[in-house]
Structure 1
Amino acid sequence: MDIISNGDQEIENRRSISWRNYEVGEDLLDALGIISAELNIIQLSRRGWALVGRDHLQDKPITFCEVIHPKDRNETKAALEHCMSSNSTLDTEVRLNPVDDHQCWAHLRAVPMQERQLIFVTIYNISSYKSEINQLSRFFSMSPDLFCVMDFDCEFIRINSAWEQLLGWPLKTLMEKGLSSFIHPSDKKRTEAQFANNIEGADTVLFENRYRTIDGTYKCIQWKSVSLAEEKIIFANARDITAKKDFENKLRDMEAARIADRTKSTFLSAMSHELRTPLNGIMGLASIAYDEAETASQKDILKTLKTTADSLAKLVDDVLDFSRIDAGLIELDAQPFSIRALITEIERLNSFSAKEKDIFLNLHVGENVPDILNNDLNRLGQVLRNLVDNAIRFTDEGSVTVSITPVDVSYKEKGIAKLTNSTENAQCWLRFIVKDTGLGISVEEESRIFDAFHQAHEFINRKTGGMGIGLAVSKQLVELMGGSIKLVTTLGEGSTFTFDIPFKIPTQVSAHEPEDISKEQPLHSLHILVVEDNIVNQKVVIRFLTNQGHTVIVADNGHLAIEAFEREVFDLILMDLQMPEMDGITATRCIRNIEIEGRRKTPIVAMTAHAAKSDEYACYDAGMDDFIVKPFKPKTLTSVLSRFSASVNDSR
């Protein structure tokens, strides 16, 4: 046997191999070649040499590994050696190592020829393909959305890094456990059914489910998926819509809260109407009976009845106010007003009860207190009336003193500007002190004094009738106006209530002042239409008006009121709101439309058991001229009649 050296064998192989297909290989886009068992290149097509960036005419032997990228060289060498030793075909992807360092990706296919100790190779340039794959891969990984490829068993084939970023699970864990391991138990069947639609041929499937994060919470995911039936794979895109769902839930909660508030408002309005309507009858009849009583004994009984009815009416007002404040249904109506006029009215309202108990009532406004202020006059008056009324009720001898002084509050303490008269938005704080020399309150009860329906000591309850909820309402109103209230008291020595409230100082000096009944104009006889469906209230109003010399026509509902208005001329209309067939708001609008045709405008005054501000605004919006809340006091109605009597007399 002739022994040929490796180098000689290489040369012999080059000479002896038949290249019948070589010319064909030269024309192929990809490279053909033959390498020895030692991995030296024996022959390579011209395109092959061009692919590796070397001259095809060179005579110096070159190993195949030299044209492989250094990072792939060892792995490729081992694969080729295994290919030869095992007589198996090799298919792999490698990076070539051209001399110009221009990286080229290639698909290498190696077929061993063991009898000749050679390996036949084909090399396909896949650089463009790898570039596209790389671009797609980068896009796949850079997207904030969740991308995945799954088989028909819903096992992940590939997922992007957004999964790990959103859910916190390592990609390896997600790949190993699969899709269904992280779906919310309540969503699993629905998710499987949706993907089943994909498998059955649905073009696109849209659905939502919840996916568990590494911290145990769930993200809401919106899916869009398509399938390739021939390859049995599903392409899916998912997006985190947790924030969107949270926002939708908040909107639903807000709507539910709005409906609940509206329900509360409707309930309180109905309660107000149902309680005030019979109270109006009781108080009205008691007042009429008192005025017509002939004996002192009768007057004493009726006076007690009136006092009890007044207390009940005040309690109803307090309960409804407390409920409205608690439900967030009370809004302040800030208007300019005279603080001194308010204090004068408080003194007038309470002077009689103070004189009856021989108590000295002293009200004082400091000289440096601005007269015209801006806040809610009615609510401030309500607080003062409640505190002064309580002080008189709990004082058997001595005095009740009310004082109002400015409070020098620093910016840091209250967060407002100090008193200044130079700007429209200037503010000041006033301190209101209501001090009495009455029964006082124990230390134990002091901490609960502003609780609703707090009951004081049994002895005090017997003497005064208890605390009710007036103080609780007062505290809420003071806080609603931006202030605070406190109590200093000693049992047996009296109590001092102090509350501070901020006010704006308006630049305009016109202000609303409490009405002074003492300045009312003398009443003229009026022809009045009373629109009221409650028979008891009809009797009360008719008796009251006829006793003052007025003539009265009664209509039981809005329809009858319009018919009466079309038949004759009235000087004044007293209009209830809630009535059968047609309500007072609708009737008022109809009357105003009739007046457009040439009728003289008739004053319309709401006289209703609906006491909410929204009801008052609705009345004015419909065209009414004033608003009286039931149960009304005779002096309130007298004041309204006096005002409109003067205007009617001028128009006659």
Structure 2
Amino acid sequence: MTAPPATPPPPPFGNSPEPAMPVPAIADAAMLAAVVDASGAGITVADATRPDHPIVYCNSAFLEMIGYAAEEVIGRNGEFLQGPATDPETAAAIRSAMADAQPLSVEVLNYRKDGSVFWNALNLRPVPGPGRQARWIAASCADVTDNRRSQEELRAADDQLTRLAAETFALAEKLDGAREEAEAARVAAENASRAKSRFLAMMSHELRTPMTAVIGMGDLLMGTGLNDQQRAFVKTLRSSADTLMTILNDVLDFSKIEAGQLTLEEIDFSLPRLVEDVVQLFLVRAAAKGLSLSASIADDTPRHIRGDPTRLRQVLFNLVSNAIKFTDRGAIEIAVWSPDPPSALTAPDAAAADSHSDPVTLRFEVQDNGIGMTEEQRARLFDAFVQADASTSRKYGGTGLGLAICKRLVEAMGGDITVISAPGRGSTFRFSIAARLAEASPVGELGARPALSGAAGAESDAPTRVPLRLLLAEDNDINRMLVVAMMTRIGHQIDAVTDGRAALDALAAADYDALILDMEMPVLDGRSAARAIRRMDGPVSRIPIVGLSADALPEHRDGHMAAGLDAYLTKPIDWEQLNAVLVDLATRPQEGRVVPIPSRPPDDGGQFSALPLVDRVKLAELRLALGGEALDGMLQLLPETALRELTAIRSALQAGRPKELKQAAHTLAGLAANFGAPRMAAIARAINDNPTDAEKAAALLPLLETAVAATSSLVRDPVGSDD
């Protein structure tokens, strides 16, 4: 360590120093120097009488902090530690305090000799001389970089939780409004009810992309090193995200049912595996409340049946989830039986083959020891947006849609649902469905997960984990990181690119088992990329392609599938479903897989003029859903917004920026479609689908300009004709 200069240390720091102890000055100076060096804090002393306030003393802790030697520090002004990222206002405050010999405490960004930065907690204190004028300026320094970083991380977490709370509150307000609308819609005409449900579905799907990121990143964050407070924050975030996702799914399901869009699958599946699936999902949650959860299936009940396993599983999920929610102690039991078991179960001969087409009634019972219900509460339990009473909603949460959805699903599957309950004596939900015997024993049906114990092993072995080499094309950084992390955790090897053009290059350079393709990307979107892949030469044209999108509308799904996809899944991503689809497509024998052939995109010539400027039916639906005053206010903003996006399209085309062109066209197409302007939406969508084709975009631009002007005129003056 370099010895301090000959200049004696200043007297003890403070505005009114105490008289020195009666010991020799040399001994006093040596003692003070030893104490200062042993303190562990960085200490400097500057000369307050000289204009540049040079440093005349510093201890070893300060030298270790900044990485300089003593001879490089003594005689220099302390500003040599500042750099480009130092806050100018903070630097000015330090200069002013030094010039006026005033005390100051700040945190300033300083630079070490090697160029690295650190946050310095700087405390300046003037030390008076014999004439009580400031003779020295003493400074204590401490590296608080780690504390600063921790504080910033905590602030970021607080900000994130605040934003999530605001979003949750806003969504709760929307759901309150939806509940009131649903009550009013019950006495309205069927068309009004369907218009409301359609509008809910259209608006709700916009939440699916950010919810994928919130849920997935929450799961990944829980697997990292967090302190107790951060872990509590993440658990709250993840729990809130699950609640939001449940509400969103309930609203979407109810909307589909009310709009008559519910379709049931007819596939073979294992009934014991499905029931075990439900039990295993809720075992941990039940155990956390000290509840036992079990299931039994009567011996003469058919094991392999044909029907819709997804919707049956959804009904059981809801009933078991409610049973756990409203039960504080005791047991929850699931029972399954068939009141009319087919003879084919006991006589599986050729003559019994015709019995596969005969209906089979299956009955299910979910019994709990929970809080129970009164007769009045039971009478309205299956109504939409209704819970047992107001206190139930406050204490347990939920939308009041779950049992209404269950009732409609059970009825769609040819059965009915009832409840037996009494206050304090628990509840028993019973429902039935009509099914048929499976045509063949199902193997590894979609959505089945291996049992957590050996209890269900007799039915069939758990499906073998199949590692795949995957390619992902996704432009959103968060979603790309999330899919890569989840697929890697499952056991697959995955590469990622940011657009469709990069996906084509990657497929030409390496072999992959399957492609995960986001449908909305710059440079080359999902539809265009899928069509281009199917036109490629060699085996790469047959690669399984799974499309991902937040767009849950059926007509858009059909358009995506027509581009040559093998499967199409909506966000938030169901990771088990995505994995099952990928494994199924990638491992299916080539001779057993039909490669989709993309349909030709519709010809633009003459088709746009056949579309109306304004869809009166769409506007009528929106008027019913939003109210006339709200819709009129929104429509008044349409011309200005459309003109702004049109200007962005024109500028991007002239500057040769296809990414900006696509973004502006995509925004305008969505805006026009949402507010019933089909001609404007179709032309903008055509530009969005071909952002790199400058010639085609230039040909479409005059048509778009005309459509925007005519539509805006019609919106401002609705008395005129549609065209």
Deviations 1:252-271 (A, max 9, x none): xxxxx999999889756643
CA 1:298–1:370 in 2, change beyond 3 Å: closer, same or farther? same
User: 1 CA distance for matches of 2:472 and 2:494?
Assistant: 10
Instruction: Tell me the amino acid that sits aligned with residue 603 of structure 1.
Output: P
Instruction: Tell me the amino acid that sits aligned with residue 575 of structure 1.
Output: L
The counterpart of 1:584, out of the listed 516, 521, 526, is 526
User: 2 CA distance for matches of 1:323 and 1:346?
Assistant: 25
Q: Which residue of 1 aligns with 2:250?
A: 318
* Deviation at residue 513 of structure 1 after TM alignment: 5.6
The counterpart of 1:541, out of the listed 476, 483, 489, is 483
Q: Which residue of 2 aligns with 1:553?
A: 496
The structure that is strand-richer by fraction is 1
* Deviation at residue 336 of structure 1 after TM alignment: 1.7
* Deviation at residue 387 of structure 1 after TM alignment: 0.9
Deviations 1:522-552 (A, max 9, x none): 57573x4322243432332244456668453
User: 2 CA distance for matches of 1:509 and 1:550?
Assistant: 32
Q: Which residue of 1 aligns with 2:665?
A: none
The structure that is helix-richer by fraction is 2
TM-score with structure 1 length normalisation?
0.52
CA 1:640–1:355 in 2, change beyond 3 Å: closer, same or farther? farther
User: 1 CA distance for matches of 2:546 and 2:437?
Assistant: 32
Instruction: Tell me the amino acid that sits aligned with residue 497 of structure 2.
Output: V
* Deviation at residue 404 of structure 1 after TM alignment: 1.1
Deviations 1:141-175 (A, max 9, x none): xxxxxxxxxxxxxxxxxxxxxxxxxxxxxxxxxxx
CA 1:303–1:534 in 2, change beyond 3 Å: closer, same or farther? same
Q: Which residue of 2 aligns with 1:630?
A: 571
* Deviation at residue 345 of structure 1 after TM alignment: 0.9
Instruction: Tell me the amino acid that sits aligned with residue 532 of structure 2.
Output: C
* Deviation at residue 392 of structure 1 after TM alignment: 1.0
Q: Does the alignment pair 1:465 with 2:388?
A: no
Q: Which residue of 1 aligns with 2:448?
A: 515
* Deviation at residue 322 of structure 1 after TM alignment: 0.5
Q: Does the alignment pair 1:337 with 2:251?
A: no
Instruction: Tell me the amino acid that sits aligned with residue 359 of structure 1.
Output: L
Where 1:502 maps in the other structure, the secondary structure is strand
CA 1:388–1:259 in 2, change beyond 3 Å: closer, same or farther? closer
8 A contact 1:406–1:430 mirrored in 2: yes
* Deviation at residue 624 of structure 1 after TM alignment: 3.6
8 A contact 1:486–1:497 mirrored in 2: yes
User: 2 CA distance for matches of 1:393 and 1:374?
Assistant: 31
The counterpart of 2:236, out of the listed 292, 297, 304, is 304
User: 1 CA distance for matches of 2:193 and 2:510?
Assistant: 43
* Deviation at residue 407 of structure 1 after TM alignment: 2.8
Aligned residues: 379
Deviations 1:430-489 (A, max 9, x none): 111111111112322222211222133344334321453111111111111121111111
Q: Does the alignment pair 1:604 with 2:545?
A: yes
8 A contact 1:521–1:642 mirrored in 2: no
8 A contact 1:336–1:506 mirrored in 2: yes
Identity of aligned residues (%): 35
Instruction: Tell me the amino acid that sits aligned with residue 325 of structure 1.
Output: I
8 A contact 2:200–2:251 mirrored in 1: no
User: 1 CA distance for matches of 2:267 and 2:576?
Assistant: 24
Deviations 1:2-43 (A, max 9, x none): xxxxxxxxxxxxxxxxxxxxxxxxxxxxxxxxxxxxxxxxxx
Deviations 1:194-236 (A, max 9, x none): xxxxxxxxxxxxxxxxxxxxxxxxxxxxxxxxxxxxxxxxxxx
* Deviation at residue 288 of structure 1 after TM alignment: 1.1
Instruction: Tell me the amino acid that sits aligned with residue 609 of structure 1.
Output: A
CA 1:643–1:425 in 2, change beyond 3 Å: closer, same or farther? closer
TM-score with structure 2 length normalisation?
0.47
* Deviation at residue 394 of structure 1 after TM alignment: 1.2
Q: Which residues in structure 2 correspond to 1:265-280 (within 5 Å)?
A: 270-280=202-212
8 A contact 1:440–1:489 mirrored in 2: yes
User: 2 CA distance for matches of 1:338 and 1:449?
Assistant: 31
CA 1:350–1:305 in 2, change beyond 3 Å: closer, same or farther? same
CA 1:321–1:582 in 2, change beyond 3 Å: closer, same or farther? farther
User: 2 CA distance for matches of 1:258 and 1:396?
Assistant: 41
Where 1:404 maps in the other structure, the secondary structure is strand
User: 1 CA distance for matches of 2:362 and 2:580?
Assistant: 31
Q: Does the alignment pair 1:361 with 2:300?
A: no
Larger radius of gyration: 1
Deviations 1:543-594 (A, max 9, x none): 44566684532223x3443344345544432112344665424422321221
* Deviation at residue 291 of structure 1 after TM alignment: 1.1
* Deviation at residue 398 of structure 1 after TM alignment: 0.7
* Deviation at residue 605 of structure 1 after TM alignment: 2.2
CA 1:514–1:597 in 2, change beyond 3 Å: closer, same or farther? closer
CA 1:553–1:422 in 2, change beyond 3 Å: closer, same or farther? closer
User: 2 CA distance for matches of 1:277 and 1:472?
Assistant: 27
User: 1 CA distance for matches of 2:225 and 2:363?
Assistant: 45
The counterpart of 1:294, out of the listed 218, 223, 226, is 226
CA 1:373–1:604 in 2, change beyond 3 Å: closer, same or farther? same
User: 2 CA distance for matches of 1:549 and 1:324?
Assistant: 34
8 A contact 2:468–2:513 mirrored in 1: no
Instruction: Tell me the amino acid that sits aligned with residue 544 of structure 2.
Output: P
The counterpart of 2:388, out of the listed 438, 456, 480, is 456
Instruction: Tell me the amino acid that sits aligned with residue 573 of structure 1.
Output: L
Q: Which residue of 2 aligns with 1:529?
A: 471
Where 2:355 maps in the other structure, the secondary structure is coil
User: 1 CA distance for matches of 2:282 and 2:387?
Assistant: 24
The counterpart of 2:379, out of the listed 447, 468, 475, is 447
CA 1:373–1:645 in 2, change beyond 3 Å: closer, same or farther? closer
User: 1 CA distance for matches of 2:239 and 2:569?
Assistant: 20
Gaps of 5+ in 1: 1-256, 410-419
CA 1:470–1:579 in 2, change beyond 3 Å: closer, same or farther? farther
Instruction: Tell me the amino acid that sits aligned with residue 308 of structure 2.
Output: D
Deviations 1:80-104 (A, max 9, x none): xxxxxxxxxxxxxxxxxxxxxxxxx
The counterpart of 1:398, out of the listed 317, 321, 330, is 330
Q: Which residue of 2 aligns with 1:432?
A: 364
CA 1:517–1:647 in 2, change beyond 3 Å: closer, same or farther? farther
User: 2 CA distance for matches of 1:406 and 1:551?
Assistant: 46
Q: Which residues in structure 2 correspond to 1:203-222 (within 5 Å)?
A: none
User: 2 CA distance for matches of 1:459 and 1:267?
Assistant: 30
8 A contact 1:531–1:555 mirrored in 2: yes
Where 1:553 maps in the other structure, the secondary structure is strand
CA 1:424–1:273 in 2, change beyond 3 Å: closer, same or farther? same
* Deviation at residue 626 of structure 1 after TM alignment: 4.4
User: 1 CA distance for matches of 2:474 and 2:374?
Assistant: 49
Instruction: Tell me the amino acid that sits aligned with residue 515 of structure 1.
Output: A
Where 1:330 maps in the other structure, the secondary structure is coil
8 A contact 1:546–1:552 mirrored in 2: no
User: 1 CA distance for matches of 2:193 and 2:381?
Assistant: 28
Instruction: Tell me the amino acid that sits aligned with residue 530 of structure 2.
Output: T
8 A contact 1:425–1:506 mirrored in 2: no
